[in-house]
Structure 1
Amino acid sequence: MIEKVNPAHPDKIADRIAGAIVDLAYKTDDAPKIAVEVLIGHGYGHVVIETSAPIDKTDVAFIVERLTPGIRVFIQIVPQDVHLAENQAKDIRCGDNSIFKGMPLTEEQKEISKIAREIYSAYPFDGKYILDEARLILCQSHAATSELKQKYPHAEVNPLGDWTGGIDVDSGATNRKLGSDMADSVTGGGLHGKDLSKADVTLNIYAFLKAQETGEPVTICCAIGDNTIDGHPYSELVAIAAEYIKSIGGFEKFAEWGLF
């Protein structure tokens, strides 16, 4: 059983805002240390940014307006903790303590990802989809329910009827849809709103990619400050994650669908 939400879901909009702010940090710093938390809903937004890179509130406000037009946003930007900054200043070292897991995708998970993308291409509005062995459930806002039912005749489409969705109906927060982003690989922290020094980003990506390559589960334990993980210098794993982020178009694009 797997759930997938699309990029217009309020939680994914929050992830996309956070990702766009991380992209902004990388434009001014090759190796920024940044963590972003976003909460949006019902006309208001809150963005908290811890950063070593210079970030302008006006640029953040433009990002929020682009992805959630018309809301009133409160933006707080603070420097990275001075002790943590000093500890990470010289080398690329692991930026967190956690356990990470990579799992090969199942055919069911690949199929729900494909279905979600197909529907979103026709209806670029808030939507959520669930697939298990017995049921396909499609909840898509602003949708012609009869058209979806025609294309997916065995699906349950909008069981409660038509709906509008978006942040005027629901609220959204960063990293609240980890199952949708990571399938069975969910363990440690969230993927979004963080730079590549953070294990939450780099090791989740690395473990996921390794699991797809080997077809076997991958489990990794790390401590903050580690410079070697899974037999590799941490800098090599950061480079692998950086190449993956680059290949999909940046952190904001990564936030749209996650890892699958």
Structure 2
Amino acid sequence: MIEKVNPSHSDKIADRIAGAIVDIAYQVQPDPKIAVEVLIGHGVCHVIVETTAPLLMPEAVRAIHNAIHRIAGLIQVDLTIVPQDAHLSNNQSKGFRCGDNGIFKGMPLTDEQKTLSAVAREIYEAHPFDGKYILDGNRIIICQSNAAKADIQRLYPTAEINPLGDWTGGTDVDTGATNRKLGSDMADSVTGGGLHGKDLSKADVSVNIYAFLKAQETGKPVELCCAIGDDEIDGKPYEEIVEVARQFIQSAGGFEAFAAWGLF
């Protein structure tokens, strides 16, 4: 059993905005430290940013506003940017070390999970609007806004489509918040910590990605834990874990692109 939501779901819009702001931080500072929280809905986007990057510069603020409007449309922006706590910054001053406590799990994807990811992407390509999808054995439930039921039925004749009828979707119908759809992003690998709105020093990003990739490579579950300040995880320097995650994010097209679908 698995649920997948598409990049126009309200929670994914929040994740994408958070990811876009992390991308901007990386453009203005090498390996910035940043944490972003987004709450969006009903005409307003609230954003809180804690960072070492100089995002209060006018051009950076403008870039953040432009990214929000590009992703969410014309919307009121409530933006707060504050410096990262000095103690947390010092933790990373002499190289990469684990940025938080955490437990992490990587699980091999099932055929069912891979299938639903392909279904969600196929539907979204034709109908780039808010949608969510469930696959449970032979039962597939498709909730797709702004699409004719007959169009979806032609692709998936046995699916349950929009059980409550047509719907509009988007942030004018439902609020979105960062890291609220981790099951959609991570499948069975969900443990603690969210993937989005954070830099690579954060274990929530790098160790989650590393554990997931190792599980796909080995075909076996992976369980890891770390404490803030650790410089080694799974017998590897933390810096090496970060580089694995960096390559994965780069291959996805950046933090915003990664946030669109998550790990699969």
Shorter-chain TM-score category?
over 0.9
The aligned residue for residue 189 of structure 1 is 193
Distance 2:27 2:61 in 1: 15
1:257 and 2:233 equivalent?
no
Question: Residue deviations 1:109-165, cap 9 Å, x none?
Answer: 000000000000000000000001141000000011011112101100010111110
The aligned residue for residue 27 of structure 1 is 27
1:48 and 2:52 equivalent?
no
The aligned residue for residue 221 of structure 1 is 225
Distance 1:105 1:125 in 2: 26
The aligned residue for residue 3 of structure 2 is 3
Query: Are 2:249 and 2:255, in contact at CA under 8 Å, matched by a contact in 1?
Result: yes
Q: How many residue pairs align between the two structures? A: 260
Distance 1:88 1:249 in 2: 25
**Letter of the 1:49 counterpart:** V
Distance 1:111 1:69 in 2: 31
Query: Are 2:131 and 2:143, in contact at CA under 8 Å, matched by a contact in 1?
Result: yes
The aligned residue for residue 114 of structure 1 is 118
After superposing on structure 2, the runs of 4+ consecutive aligned residues of structure 1 that deviate more than 6 Å are none
The aligned residue for residue 252 of structure 2 is 248
Give the deviation of 1:186 after TM superposition.
Answer: 0.2
Distance 1:253 1:134 in 2: 30
1:97 is aligned, of 88, 95, 101, to 101
What's the TM-score once normalised by structure 1's chain length? 0.99
Query: Are 2:140 and 2:160, in contact at CA under 8 Å, matched by a contact in 1?
Result: yes
Structure 2: which 5+ runs fail to align? none
Identity of aligned residues (%): 69
Give the deviation of 1:70 after TM superposition.
Answer: 1.4
**Letter of the 1:206 counterpart:** Y
Distance 1:258 1:69 in 2: 22
1:128 and 2:132 equivalent?
yes
What's the TM-score once normalised by structure 2's chain length? 0.97
Structure 1: which 5+ runs fail to align? none
Distance 1:135 1:57 in 2: 46
